Structure 1
Amino acid sequence: MCGINLIINPKEDGKSTIQKMMQATQHRGPDFSDFCQITEGVWIAGNRLKILDLSASSNQPFWSEDKSCVLVWNGALYNYQDLRNNLLDLGYNFKTNSDSEVLLLWLKHYGSDKISELKGMFAFVFVNISLQQITIARDPSGEKPLYFYQNEETWCFSSESRGVLAGFGKEIKIDKSQFLPYFYSRHSFPDRSFYHDIQQHLPGTGLTLDFNGKTVRNFEWTQPKFIQDVPSQEVFESKLKDAVLKNFHAERPVGIILSGGADSSLLYRLWTEETSQPVATFTAAFEQKYQAKYKDPVFAKKLTSQFEGFHTEVLVNPEKIQKHWQEYIAGMDQPIGDSAGILTWLIAKEAKENVQVLISGAGADELFGGYTRHSAFAKYLKNPKFYLQIKKLSENLPFPRPYKKFLNGIDSDPERTFLNFASLLNIPDDEYSKFQLWYPKDAGIFQNALNFDRKYFLVNDVLKIHDNVCMTQGIEGRSPYLDFEMIQWTKGFSEDQTLFYSSKKMIKEALEKRGFAKIAKRKKIGFGIPIKEWLQEDESFRKWVFGTIKEMNAKWAADFPREMQQIAEAPEKVFKDQFLLVWNLFILASWLKNQE
């Protein structure tokens, strides 16, 4: 929805610094931008994309009537009407119909004590001038990003690392240590960025600072468990319907990215079922010769046939990728090795002519065990010793590559096994502890695996792509499966229940009973471009990709992990089997080149 910026005790002129930061994040809020000085050493700025209450009275920075508090924030509160009623009972009056005013008055009244009652996606900076305190926080699902820089008494916060760079770019260099997680995980570690000294504010955490930049309080929170006896299909569908209606609530046009798969298809079907209203839908389509494998347009067209004229197919081919690549990379705040990025960017570029909110199915796989690695891990957990024996026997046998990867990833330690499954290659022994730090240990074995994907992969890959590429086009991305109450409900599952309902059993059942069994039973191929086919069949595309990687290797090879060096040095030798790794290196190479 917006971009937020805060600077405390700037090293240079505060006014010019906050203006540079605001301008660097202006794409996040194309409808309005402004800044203000709180005290001599505190400046804030906001960029607004208007979604609710389109009037100027909801512009940011958003001040309380008595000028005692001010807010800049990014996101949406889906329970703002309930919170508003609570505040009305306490005697508060409202001058707008926005969730911004609700958030400001809630924080003014309760501080951070009742932050757990905020149900939505958000990152915010709230200044209480009366108390001379600044509270900064990010929601537990990590849907909205937040970066910061700290040096002695200076603090700088922004929705994007480029916002921080705008104030301190001359001092900050590439963090070479992040090549390691990028190669194995597609992104930096969750608390870091690809810039030295620019860190990420972790989801579900907050801090309160005084006007001198001294820490008053650190706090954290998460969605509490909803304890239940037996999860039911009826409750699932009811909660998801509620989440859909809340996410679609906006005063600007809303659309859906339809992959033709189960997750986004069910969101679309529930919306039309509940409202009988059409909604703009967008699906990526590839050349005719690839449609036997990449059938998204076929399934999406059948799903949307009830409302003709609202569905758009976005043709994607190598020529289009090359034409727009530099613009895409220039808008990439942090490198993420996932071809879903350029695909989502091209869809958002087309969609911005018609909508300002884009709904996606993000989060469904992580909540309900929908990835191939989840089914592989569930299979392994049934009999680990058996699969360890098979692994030993298979060392010299010509197993097909998918089976080989499955067997190579198996370890006597379930945690190590899943980390291998979740990584593009098995993590080396001497680097394993760096990844293990991010692995949850507070639930069942299978639940911990899903929680790892939700807190590590989902936040730093899927959601960051969705936020970044949508915001470059002035669009807000939303994910109904990550509704506060949906997460709370699934956290109440037992280990056995989580396993039983994995492979997205509830999502598929909901589609089947609505007559979409073919969509429910589709083989999962992932949301991305036909990298393997393009690299094999298009010489121009292949040379472009390989040449860019080799340029990067000539400059950075000494800082790469060993396996990364080998691929970057000769991508043409491995691309048929390791096409995903090759594409990820191409993204990184393009981003690094753009930094120059």
Structure 2
Amino acid sequence: MCGIAGIFHVETAKPVDPERVRRMTDAIAHRGPDGSGVWTAAGVGFGHRRLSIIDLAGGGQPMHSADGKAVLVFNGEIYNFRELRRQLEQAGYAFRTDSDSEVILHGWRHWGTDCVTHFHGFFAFAIYDLTQKQLFLARDRLGVKPLYYADLADGSIIFGSELKALMAHPALRREADLGAVDDFLSFGYVPDHTCLISGVKKLPAGHTMLLQQGRPRPQPVEYWDIDFSNRIKGSQEELEEELLRLMKQAVESRMVADVPLGAFLSGGVDSSSVVALMAEISRQPVKTCSIGFDVGELDESAYADTVAKRFLTDHRSRQVGSDDFQLIDTLAFHFDEPFADASALPTYRVCELAREQVKVALSGDGADEAMAGYRRHVFHHGEETARGMIPAALRSALLGPLGRAYPKADWAPRPLRAKTTLLSLARSGEEGYAEAVGVTGPAIRHQLYSGRAKGILQGYRAEEHMHRLMRGAPARSGLDRAQYADMKLWLPGDILTKLDRTSMAVGLEAREPLLDHRLIEFTAKLPENMRVRRGQGKYLMKQTMERYLPKDILYRPKMGFVTPVAQWLRGPLADSARGIANSQILASMQWFDSAAIGKIAEDHIAGRSDHGRLLWQLIMLEKSVARIFG
């Protein structure tokens, strides 16, 4: 786990200043506190910051191939590197280290651009081939590790693990992309297909890009995608055994490290499953850690304690309270772009807690996306069944007006909030799901925007990207399409960004065994009733894990890593809610109507509406704008 950065002159081999590369890597020094390196040649420069996990003595970078013809900078882990090493040694390649980095280098020499299909793990890397004068950029299948890049006016391309690495280059123009602001307000994060700085791009998950000096820059090439269009056959017992085999394989492969290792434990199904399998594999007590909250109804720490006692783990926990609001400046620094998933606060704290004893921690992230574990998946599955029974014209004519007339009741118990369901059923499946997964809908965004912003946006709506994604998904059903969209947008943009930035901020490597691509390929083929059944998501996984976990862990209502931001913004943080309406930083961008923001803040504080997530979005947006454009 590391940080990488580099410069490549595409048009001509201009000299690269090593100090400029060093400044780019210094900007992400937190990603690699154990070492650093810079290498330059005609037209190219690589920088690296190292967090030592495998081959502590021999894995330094930038790393040169034995023949001196290729150079690598790499962020991530290749879990099958020993198996690949044996294959490559049989093919005649000699190794000088015991690191997975050298396997990537020889893999490039042997398989070329196809090397990525052989790697099991998570990664973002750059290889420069001195013979061919080619730069090869690659990102893992699911987007666990980030990779930003941008074209500069001098004909060069710069790249780095975080946006701040690019921002350290003086030639990067900092102009805001208002479309990215709309994406952020819609989803709560800036997705991978856009960036707050206009012109900066993110290499998409499961893609590579090969640049040749003296030739125009090509588009990224996809080498892997999630396919929901096929269904696997077999009895439930057979499917359970295969799922368990894949889960065990994924967990065991991620327990390989030359440094202390542990796990996050929330007390939910996913992290509890990972810990259960780790305990079965490990000869020593698993080191686990969890975070609780000062709002009782959102505190799951008692469930984490139950699991820790069941598997005799070495467990530690801490509590997050409203005073942790002071962390937002730290979070804004590490995320660069605005990021409004408030669970970043406890995630940072649990990473901080884990790092006190271990350098690698396994998490349960990914199972909800892979096996339909979110409530929205269950609701969408039911709504799609209803859509299939009622003609679209009738749904639009009857349910649309009924939904608009039905009172909005944020305060009511969830079953009584029929307005959202009625409006969703009146729309197409992709429109309804985009609304369900969104944070701030288009109507409220339209109220917030200034006339100038509306003119720049020209009717742009963030949700349309998700609509297109779902319509073009390799899928059979509405549930398939919803999960596909989550895997392509939500997972890399929110979940994996959150875990990467918070873990890297404290020098911790986080690993996600439930995102092993072989496991993902299997779950994408499961029949729908093996994912959602009787109002429960993750049906097959829960059935499989009954042999390890008690039913009150497996079948209690899903809570997730929920942070009580809405309550805080009505109580101890009410002044922050009011202050965002008078923000001089946001006012300087001329994007919003401050009076509209002020009304939203007062309605939330008074309890007339729940605008906690929107206010948190605006607070985090203000922090990012100040950092990038201030």
TM-score (norm 1): 0.92
What is the rounded CA distance, in whole Å, between the counterparts of 1:21 and 1:336 in structure 2? 22
Amino acid at match of 1:150: D
The one-character-per-residue Cα deviations of 1:176-201 (angstroms, maximum 9, x if unpaired) are: 32110111111224222111221111
Task: Give 1:87's aligned residue.
Answer: 88
Match of 1:537 among 549, 567, 571: 571
SS at match of 2:556: coil
Match of 2:281 among 250, 274, 284: 274
Structure 1 residue 306: deviation in Å? 4.7
Task: Give 2:118's aligned residue.
Answer: 117
What is the rounded CA distance, in whole Å, between the counterparts of 1:131 and 1:395 in structure 2? 62
The one-character-per-residue Cα deviations of 1:306-344 (angstroms, maximum 9, x if unpaired) are: 56672111211112332x332332222222110111111
Does residue 259 of structure 2 align to residue 228 of structure 1?
no
Task: Give 2:359's aligned residue.
Answer: 356
What is the rounded CA distance, in whole Å, between the counterparts of 2:157 and 2:595 in structure 1? 36
Structure 1 segments, 4+ long, off by >6 Å, are none
SS at match of 2:136: strand
SS at match of 1:6: strand
Amino acid at match of 1:222: W
Unaligned runs of 5+ in 1: none
Structure 1 residue 475: deviation in Å? 1.1
What is the rounded CA distance, in whole Å, between the counterparts of 1:475 and 1:104 in structure 2? 25
Question: Which range moves more in the overlay, 228-237 or 476-485?
Answer: 228-237
Task: Give 1:68's aligned residue.
Answer: 69
What is the rounded CA distance, in whole Å, between the counterparts of 2:278 and 2:350 in structure 1? 21
Q: Report matched runs for 1:483-502 at 5 Å.
A: 483-494=516-527, 498-499=531-532
Match of 1:422 among 421, 430, 437: 437
Task: Give 1:321's aligned residue.
Answer: 325
What is the rounded CA distance, in whole Å, between the counterparts of 1:430 and 1:178 in structure 2? 10
Structure 1 residue 79: deviation in Å? 1.5
What is the rounded CA distance, in whole Å, between the counterparts of 1:459 and 1:257 in structure 2? 19
Task: Give 2:51's aligned residue.
Answer: 49
Task: Give 1:505's aligned residue.
Answer: 539
SS at match of 1:358: strand
The one-character-per-residue Cα deviations of 1:249-307 (angstroms, maximum 9, x if unpaired) are: 111122222221111111111111233532221211122xx32x124110001111156
SS at match of 1:328: helix
Does residue 407 of structure 2 align to residue 377 of structure 1?
no
What is the rounded CA distance, in whole Å, between the counterparts of 2:5 and 2:615 in structure 1? 35
Task: Give 1:174's aligned residue.
Answer: 176
Task: Give 1:453's aligned residue.
Answer: 486
What is the rounded CA distance, in whole Å, between the counterparts of 2:32 and 2:167 in structure 1? 18
Structure 1 residue 11: deviation in Å? 8.7
* Counterpart contact for 2:4–2:73, Cα < 8 Å: yes
Task: Give 1:2's aligned residue.
Answer: 2
SS at match of 2:309: coil
* Counterpart contact for 2:7–2:157, Cα < 8 Å: yes
SS at match of 2:583: helix
SS at match of 1:559: coil
Amino acid at match of 1:181: D
* Counterpart contact for 2:531–2:537, Cα < 8 Å: no
Structure 1 residue 136: deviation in Å? 0.6
SS at match of 2:151: strand
* Counterpart contact for 1:69–1:129, Cα < 8 Å: yes
What is the rounded CA distance, in whole Å, between the counterparts of 1:344 and 1:249 in structure 2? 23
* Counterpart contact for 1:371–1:503, Cα < 8 Å: yes
Does residue 286 of structure 2 align to residue 286 of structure 1?
no
Q: Report matched runs for 1:137-536 at 5 Å.
A: 137-151=138-152, 153-168=155-170, 171-212=173-214, 214-215=216-217, 218-222=220-224, 228-230=232-234, 232-287=239-294, 290-291=295-296, 293-306=297-310, 310-322=314-326, 324-384=327-387, 389-390=398-399, 392-398=401-407, 400-401=409-410, 402=414, 403=417, 404-427=419-442, 431=461, 432-439=463-470, 440-444=472-476, 445-494=478-527, 498-499=531-532, 503-536=537-570
What is the rounded CA distance, in whole Å, between the counterparts of 1:494 and 1:63 in structure 2? 47
What is the rounded CA distance, in whole Å, between the counterparts of 2:402 and 2:553 in structure 1? 38
What is the rounded CA distance, in whole Å, between the counterparts of 1:357 and 1:549 in structure 2? 41
* Counterpart contact for 1:511–1:519, Cα < 8 Å: no
Unaligned runs of 5+ in 2: 444-458
Question: Which range moves more in the overlay, 576-585 or 254-263?
Answer: 576-585
Amino acid at match of 1:406: T
Amino acid at match of 2:137: I
Inter-CA distance 517–16: structure 2 relative to 1 (3 Å threshold): same
Inter-CA distance 224–309: structure 2 relative to 1 (3 Å threshold): closer
The one-character-per-residue Cα deviations of 1:377-427 (angstroms, maximum 9, x if unpaired) are: 011011126576455435434474442333333334111111111112444
Inter-CA distance 570–218: structure 2 relative to 1 (3 Å threshold): closer
* Counterpart contact for 1:147–1:160, Cα < 8 Å: yes
The size of the alignment, in residue pairs, is 586
Q: Report matched runs for 1:559-578 at 5 Å.
A: 559-560=591-592, 566-567=596-597, 570-574=600-604, 576=607, 577-578=610-611
Amino acid at match of 2:498: I
The one-character-per-residue Cα deviations of 1:132-170 (angstroms, maximum 9, x if unpaired) are: 211111112000000001135210010111101101366
TM-score (norm 2): 0.87
Structure 1 residue 212: deviation in Å? 4.4
SS at match of 1:134: strand
Does residue 596 of structure 2 align to residue 581 of structure 1?
no
Inter-CA distance 110–329: structure 2 relative to 1 (3 Å threshold): same
What is the rounded CA distance, in whole Å, between the counterparts of 2:29 and 2:460 in structure 1? 42
What is the rounded CA distance, in whole Å, between the counterparts of 2:591 and 2:571 in structure 1? 32
Question: Which range moves more in the overlay, 523-532 or 119-128?
Answer: 523-532
What is the rounded CA distance, in whole Å, between the counterparts of 2:586 and 2:141 in structure 1? 40
SS at match of 1:424: coil
Task: Give 1:103's aligned residue.
Answer: 104
SS at match of 2:545: helix
